[in-house]
Chains A and B, each alone.
Chain A
């Protein structure tokens, strides 16, 4: 496609991009398009919209999403950090605005209307938060006099407070999980792991006792009693689908479940296309996560290592939580399946995440060990 001597930006990009990641993300996007045709017409009809309302919008969102992903993948680490900082500042501003001026949907204020579009700023906050945390951890390790971990902790508490205020417990738990995982990878001492683990447990207990709907869902999951209609229906659909599925368009859950195009899209996939294809989808997510960790392990740059690990953790957590709920492995929790579920904000935010992963895993001459070694030696050797 491009020769090595071609020094144009495109050629450079193509040569250095991690094509496995790119292929995996594009495969997820393809899954999303197919499933949008499968799941959303039924939902659209049910709520009285045009049959292909959600399909059209899904396609419409794909254009900026792919654009964002590719564009971001051109950036270098420093630009990524800047982008993350700007994104975080804007999304925090919008989240605060949402609390005061936002649209209340199902009892929480997560959405703001901007230029005629509904936005969920917390979606964009997540990858930006990961990048900034990665940067803070990396800086802390590079220059211990900077209280990076402390700032990361304060940042997390601030973000969590904003999410709880909405309230959006799912995102809070997700954020806490990612933050904890990054902290863990960054070399958190076991004492702190214990302390944070206990406080996480207490936080979950508090959520259980403070929010009746949380307690209700957990109880339903544990006892199997009460209104388990959505998850039961999801399960039934998967079992009905069997290995090879009922066939495209033959599904029934999509006519029944209100969130079939978002939270329960996995069940729709299982019913119409079969468990084997579900396994393929799960494999793609697993591949992204594991390849991300593998790349991070090999990366010598602390920031890139933490950032890539954090970003794939984000995708990993979101995908596993969504799928686990569909498979009745954990209490019902609304969580979108990255790239596959319907949702504009979610789609573009995931594209941003993917773009950042692609950008940070590009092969770069400057990330080669030698130069970094030189750099750090000159800077730290005297101090130690």
Chain B
């Protein structure tokens, strides 16, 4: 037996009783043992008390169960345009919920609700309300009228919870820029997502969301110009029966996007179709072979390299034969052309020869330098990466010189064009208000100012005498380059389907704004023939410039300017 032996070895009873006072062990010993026990309990209760105080002082971490419900009340900042016009704001809405256990008669409740909310899914709601759950959402974001009607029914076990909902006063006007929020008011696209990515989302995840007003996010957008651009594009799409259109107005000196529209778009207040493949933001998330507008970059490159002068001439009398391909001109003049002639007649042969003079590596380096071969950096999350050949051969350089073989986003094309006309400064595009001073710091010199001057002359010349005549707006000195690209259909360039663009800037003597309009698969206008860029994209730019330039604070000037510009060269 274990115990007796232990007892024996220890030589006495387990409990020591040396000096037996009345009632058991040593009074002092028992007292000290009691004191130890008391001390232990005091310590334990002390720890409990301390823990209570700690809990009392701690904040709720809403990272788990309560967070979705809490966040729905959290504010998002308003988004305003450059002059403070509200583009996106929070409104308070009521959401309908049910507490099935408190509902007296499910059939009656659903029937009564159906009398004011006619689109109620009877079976679904009946199932929800008889589920025995404590809480079920019935309908998020009711209109005030619906809320009043439901309230008037007085059904027990039905209640409202105030939530915040994003509202876009302009509807679809700036949909692609503003983006979207989900049902919990978290940004999932566009500037809304950018705002979250800038820290708002993190703050909310940490439970630091607030129900109060936040400082608005000020965009570089001008709501009026945005509206004009969209209006012109909607009209153009209809007029030319196109499948898509897009446009951007960019501040040439600061890189601020003043307006940007991609059609078809969606209504962010009811974005049921926002995810349709067709409705992506073509301007920043779509890439296109920009066609002849690219010749502007080739020409600028040739002039900037110093190897080509404005007065040089190239023989465009015969098509270029390379590999199995024949490069010929659309409006063939079959003669030697000067550089300005190559530009305004949009000669593929002449442009290819200019690129040839510069060289393949330099060609690639130049396009990289003006940001046409790398993914553009801007606030919008939806930005596509341009494509280019893995290996540049002579044929690639030739086709790229007139805009085939490299796909870029329209927005980055406009950004590069701004560098061509603003004295040679490449500016990262932005959707947020950016001052001219800030832009000066950010700008990167990519071109010689003299090259920029020459380009302004060429752009202007093309509107005065070349394919861009239909873009002229009297008094605003528009300059630009058309681009009529044949689309690739089943691996072959199709002569039926075109992607047209007009890349412009105004006023050309001191360009303030770059305007780019694109139109996808335009058909000839009713009663007219031809669907080249000069017939559709250029008039669209004219509309945009004519209607928005006065709003942008530019004065029309008549008479002397054009002469002065021409005289200087």
State whether these chains interact: yes
Enumerate chain A interface residues (CB-CB to B < 8 A).
Answer: 45, 137-138, 140-142, 144, 147-150, 153, 181, 183-189, 191-192, 195, 232-233, 235-236, 238-240, 242-243, 255, 270, 275, 278-279, 282, 285-286, 289-290, 293-294, 296-297, 299-303, 305-306, 309, 313, 316, 320, 323-324, 327, 329, 369, 372-373, 375-377, 380, 384
User: How many angstroms from the CA of A303 to the CA of B30 in the assembled complex?
Assistant: 13
User: How many angstroms from the CA of A255 to the CA of B24 in the assembled complex?
Assistant: 52
- Known contacts being A185-B37, A240-B60, is A297 close to B55, with CB within 8 Å? no
Q: What are 25 A-B pairs with beta-carbon distances under 8 A?
A: A186-B15, A186-B30, A186-B33, A187-B26, A189-B16, A192-B10, A235-B55, A239-B58, A275-B53, A279-B52, A289-B41, A289-B45, A293-B37, A316-B41, A316-B44, A320-B41, A323-B48, A324-B48, A329-B47, A329-B48, A329-B51, A369-B22, A372-B23, A375-B22, A377-B22
If over half of B's interface residues share one DSSP class (helix, strand or loop), that class is named, otherwise mixed; here it is: helix
Question: Are B22's CB and A372's CB within 8 A?
Answer: yes
Question: Are A187's CB and B16's CB within 8 A?
Answer: yes
- Known contacts being A293-B38, A305-B30, is A141 close to B25, with CB within 8 Å? yes
Question: Range of interface residues on chain B?
Answer: 35 or more
Enumerate chain B interface residues (CB-CB to A < 8 A).
Answer: 3, 6-7, 10, 13-17, 20, 22-26, 29-31, 33-38, 41-42, 44-45, 47-49, 51-53, 55-56, 58-60, 64-66, 101, 134
User: How many angstroms from the CA of A139 to the CA of B51 in the assembled complex?
Assistant: 41
Beyond contacts A187-B29, A282-B49: 15 other A-B pairs, Cβ-Cβ < 8 A, are A137-B24, A141-B25, A150-B7, A186-B24, A187-B26, A188-B16, A189-B14, A192-B10, A275-B55, A279-B49, A305-B23, A320-B45, A327-B52, A329-B51, A376-B22
- Known contacts being A305-B24, A323-B48, is A141 close to B15, with CB within 8 Å? yes
User: How many angstroms from the CA of A380 to the CA of B56 in the assembled complex?
Assistant: 56
Residues of A within 8 A of B26 (CB): 187
B206 to chain A, nearest CB (A): 15
B153 to chain A, nearest CB (A): 24
- The closest CB in chain B to the CB of A276 belongs to B56
User: How many angstroms from the CA of A148 to the CA of B17 in the assembled complex?
Assistant: 13
A165 to chain B, nearest CB (A): 22
B463 to chain A, nearest CB (A): 68
Top 10 A-B residue pairs of the complex, sorted by shortest distance between their CB atoms: A141-B24, A302-B24, A187-B25, A302-B23, A376-B22, A286-B45, A275-B56, A149-B14, A327-B51, A297-B34
Which residue, of B7, B34, B53, B64, has the highest number of chain A Cβ atoms within 10 A? B34
User: How many angstroms from the CA of A147 to the CA of B1 in the assembled complex?
Assistant: 15
B226 to chain A, nearest CB (A): 45
Residues of A within 8 A of B29 (CB): 187
User: How many angstroms from the CA of A147 to the CA of B44 in the assembled complex?
Assistant: 33
Residues of A within 8 A of B15 (CB): 137, 140-141, 148-149, 183, 186-189
- Known contacts being A286-B45, A290-B41, A323-B48, is A142 close to B24, with CB within 8 Å? yes
B144 to chain A, nearest CB (A): 27
- Known contacts being A300-B23, A327-B48, A372-B22, is A313 close to B37, with CB within 8 Å? yes
Question: Are A191's CB and B10's CB within 8 A?
Answer: yes
Residues of B within 8 A of A243 (CB): 56
B325 to chain A, nearest CB (A): 65
Question: Are B134's CB and A150's CB within 8 A?
Answer: no
Residues of B within 8 A of A192 (CB): 10, 14
- Known contacts being A187-B26, A302-B24, is A255 close to B60, with CB within 8 Å? no
Residues of A within 8 A of B24 (CB): 137-138, 141-142, 186-187, 302, 305-306
Question: Are B64's CB and A187's CB within 8 A?
Answer: no
User: How many angstroms from the CA of A375 to the CA of B22 in the assembled complex?
Assistant: 9
- Known contacts being A191-B10, A305-B24, is A293 close to B45, with CB within 8 Å? no
Residues of B within 8 A of A150 (CB): 3, 7, 14
User: How many angstroms from the CA of A153 to the CA of B22 in the assembled complex?
Assistant: 24
A139 to chain B, nearest CB (A): 9
User: How many angstroms from the CA of A137 to the CA of B10 in the assembled complex?
Assistant: 18
- The closest CB in chain A to the CB of B3 belongs to A150
Question: Are B45's CB and A278's CB within 8 A?
Answer: no
Residues of B within 8 A of A186 (CB): 15, 24-25, 30, 33
Residues of A within 8 A of B6 (CB): 195
User: How many angstroms from the CA of A377 to the CA of B7 in the assembled complex?
Assistant: 28
Q: Which of A238, A293, A302 contacts B55 (CB 8 A)?
A: A238
- The closest CB in chain A to the CB of B26 belongs to A187
User: How many angstroms from the CA of A119 to the CA of B105 in the assembled complex?
Assistant: 39
Question: Are A255's CB and B134's CB within 8 A?
Answer: yes
Question: Are A153's CB and B3's CB within 8 A?
Answer: yes
- The closest CB in chain B to the CB of A189 belongs to B16
Residues of B within 8 A of A316 (CB): 41, 44
Residues of A within 8 A of B25 (CB): 141, 186-187, 302
Question: Are A242's CB and B56's CB within 8 A?
Answer: yes
- Known contacts being A150-B3, A187-B29, A240-B60, is A309 close to B45, with CB within 8 Å? no
User: How many angstroms from the CA of A309 to the CA of B23 in the assembled complex?
Assistant: 15
- The closest CB in chain A to the CB of B33 belongs to A185
- The closest CB in chain B to the CB of A286 belongs to B45
- The closest CB in chain A to the CB of B44 belongs to A320
User: How many angstroms from the CA of A375 to the CA of B24 in the assembled complex?
Assistant: 13
Question: Are A282's CB and B52's CB within 8 A?
Answer: yes
Question: Are A290's CB and B55's CB within 8 A?
Answer: no
Question: Are A45's CB and B101's CB within 8 A?
Answer: yes
User: How many angstroms from the CA of A333 to the CA of B206 in the assembled complex?
Assistant: 31
A50 to chain B, nearest CB (A): 13
B220 to chain A, nearest CB (A): 43
- Known contacts being A140-B13, A185-B30, A188-B15, is A376 close to B48, with CB within 8 Å? no
Residues of B within 8 A of A299 (CB): 23
A190 to chain B, nearest CB (A): 10
Question: Are A188's CB and B23's CB within 8 A?
Answer: no
Residues of B within 8 A of A303 (CB): 23
- The closest CB in chain A to the CB of B17 belongs to A141
Question: Are B23's CB and A376's CB within 8 A?
Answer: yes
B135 to chain A, nearest CB (A): 8
Residues of A within 8 A of B16 (CB): 187-189
User: How many angstroms from the CA of A138 to the CA of B17 in the assembled complex?
Assistant: 11
- Known contacts being A239-B59, A297-B34, is A380 close to B20, with CB within 8 Å? yes
- Known contacts being A150-B3, A185-B30, is A286 close to B41, with CB within 8 Å? yes
User: How many angstroms from the CA of A77 to the CA of B70 in the assembled complex?
Assistant: 59
- The closest CB in chain A to the CB of B25 belongs to A187
A275 to chain B, nearest CB (A): 4
User: How many angstroms from the CA of A372 to the CA of B27 in the assembled complex?
Assistant: 14
A149 to chain B, nearest CB (A): 4
User: How many angstroms from the CA of A140 to the CA of B65 in the assembled complex?
Assistant: 57
Question: Are A297's CB and B31's CB within 8 A?
Answer: yes
Residues of A within 8 A of B65 (CB): 233, 236
Residues of A within 8 A of B20 (CB): 141, 380, 384
Residues of A within 8 A of B17 (CB): 140-141, 144, 187
User: How many angstroms from the CA of A329 to the CA of B50 in the assembled complex?
Assistant: 11
Question: Are B38's CB and A320's CB within 8 A?
Answer: no
Question: Are B10's CB and A236's CB within 8 A?
Answer: no
Residues of A within 8 A of B33 (CB): 184-187
